Amino acid sequence: MSSVRFDAVDVVFEDGHRALDAVILHIADGEIIALVGPSGSGKTTLLRSLAGFTAPSRGRISIDEQVVSSSEHSTAVEHRGLGMVFQQHALWPHMKVGENIGYPLRLAGIRGGDRRRRVEEALEMVGLAGMAGRRPDQLSGGQRQRVALARAIIHEPRVLLLDEALSALDEPLRASLRAQLQSMSRRLGLTVLHVTHDRSEALAVADRIVVLDQGRIQQIGCPDELMERPATGFVAQFLQDAALLHGELRAEGFRCAEMKLQVPRESISQPQDDGSAADSGGSRAGVLAVAPHHVILSPAEGDDAQGAEAEVVSSLYGRHAHDVEVSWAGRRLRGETVGWRPAPGERVRAEVNGGVFFSGGDLDEQTQGDHDQAPEDPQGDGESVQVPLGHTGGSQ
């Protein structure tokens, strides 16, 4: 129930690694913020520096306009008024469930019937009424994590910190706890900082999402903003599995010379759309981020092999659309098909009907390279390996 500010926060570790780089972030009272990014992007460091387990080397962190971390001063963790849930529940095995949950109250000097009543309430809120007498090792994984959640909220923390809190759980359980978490935070008006590597979880739960890469904030926005107007190629790549194509944007559209690709101008959006440069008729070099739903695949009809220059590398079943990866003019692209599912090795017709354009060649080649290596085409490889194995097995 508090606001949080990060003012130009740097965290540099002893080995010289810069884990956070000039992070500026304002979290409003009662807001649910998700932190996403690849591993090593600094999201856990950001959370731990708000908690006070990590000290910033520069900049200030404040809760409710009161500085808790700066280079001169650091409020001790226990005086920041936080609640925290860890990936591995971190329940104390030598305490019963009720003692675990009541511990923050015990430290706050609340005792007797008052404490018991509030523990019961918290247990009820997470759906574990009457379990106060159990030992943590008598609970299932999901129950333990709910106890950890009850422990984190019982003393009405100013900020609730979730460090991959749902990541250790199995899928159906995770979804239900995710929903419970969101409705509970809303009801209690909690300010929540939720670190996760699961992109869909971040999009599902959060009011705003912070995308981090290499210690820098790439974009902050609500789910719609991030999906429709990614600020950088990295964000598009990370959140939507977009492919990044180098080319030129002209008045009539985007052209990628090596792929003989043409995308009409009106279906291309630009995050930094000032409307001047492109409409003045000049051409700009840049990168087009193409998300799978912009890659339209269609069967090559008859012997019309002319337009079918993409070869299917892998084809994974999906409930709403099948996830098909194609190799097209030496590039790997992910697309979606509905109604038909091509087989690996099949040649299909491919076109791109939209994308987000980022001008300038400033997109580092590294992220581009990362994506080129990324496709693992499990199905394609699996097929080609399984055949010879099956043969030798049969002949023995």
Partner 1 sequence: MPSTRLWEAERALPALGLINAGLWLFCLTVVLVPLGTVALYGLASGRLEELAEPEVAAAAWNSLSSAVLSGALAVLIALGLVLVIEHTRLPGRATLRILALSPLLIPPFIGAISWIGLFGPSGMINSAAEGLIGRPLWSIYGGDGVILLLALHAYPIAYLLLTAALARIPAELEEAARASGAGSRRALAHITLPLLRPALISSFVLVTVSNLADFGIPALVGAPERYETLATIAYRFVRSGTVDNSVELAACVGVVLLLMVAAGMLLIRRFSRASYALEPSVSRAAPLALKRPWLLGGTTWAAVLGITALPLSALLIQALLPAPGMELSWENLSLGNFSSVLESPWAAEGTQLSLSLALGAALITGVVGLAIGTVMTRTSLPGRSLLRKVSLLPLAVPGLIVAVGWLLLAPHLGLYNSPWLILWAYVMSFLALVVQAIEAPLRSTSPALEEAARVSGASALRAFSDVSVRLALPAAAAGALLVLLTAVRELTISALLLAPNAQTLGVAIFNLQQAGSYGSAAALSVLVTVAGLLGMGLITRRLHTR
Q: Which parts of this chain interact with partner 1 (CB under 8 A)?
A: 51-53, 76-79, 81-84, 86-90, 92-94, 103-104, 107-108, 137, 148, 151-152, 155, 161
CB-nearer residue toward partner 1: 134 or 216: 134
CB-nearer residue toward partner 1: 163 or 377: 163
CA 168 remoteness from chain centre: 16
DSSP code at position 192: E
Rounded Cα distance between 166 and 80, Å, is: 24
What stretch of H or E contains 395? helix 378-395
CB-nearer residue toward partner 1: 151 or 294: 151
Residue 290 has φ and ψ, to the nearest 5°, of -115, 110
- Closest approach, Cβ 57 to partner 1, in A, equals 17
- Closest approach, Cβ 137 to partner 1, in A, equals 5
- Closest approach, Cβ 275 to partner 1, in A, equals 49
Pairing of strands 284-290, 243-249: antiparallel
- Closest approach, Cβ 311 to partner 1, in A, equals 37
CB-nearer residue toward partner 1: 19 or 239: 19
* Backbone CA torsion sign across 48, 53, 58, 60: positive
At 111, the amino acid letter reads R
- Closest approach, Cβ 3 to partner 1, in A, equals 19
- Closest approach, Cβ 281 to partner 1, in A, equals 56
Residue 333 has φ and ψ, to the nearest 5°, of -130, 145
CB-nearer residue toward partner 1: 1 or 321: 1
CB-nearer residue toward partner 1: 8 or 108: 108
Q: Which CB contacts under 8 angstroms, 24+ apart, belong to 13-22?
A: 18/215, 19/45, 19/54, 19/215, 20/45, 20/46, 20/49, 20/56, 20/215, 21/214, 21/215, 21/216, 22/59, 22/216
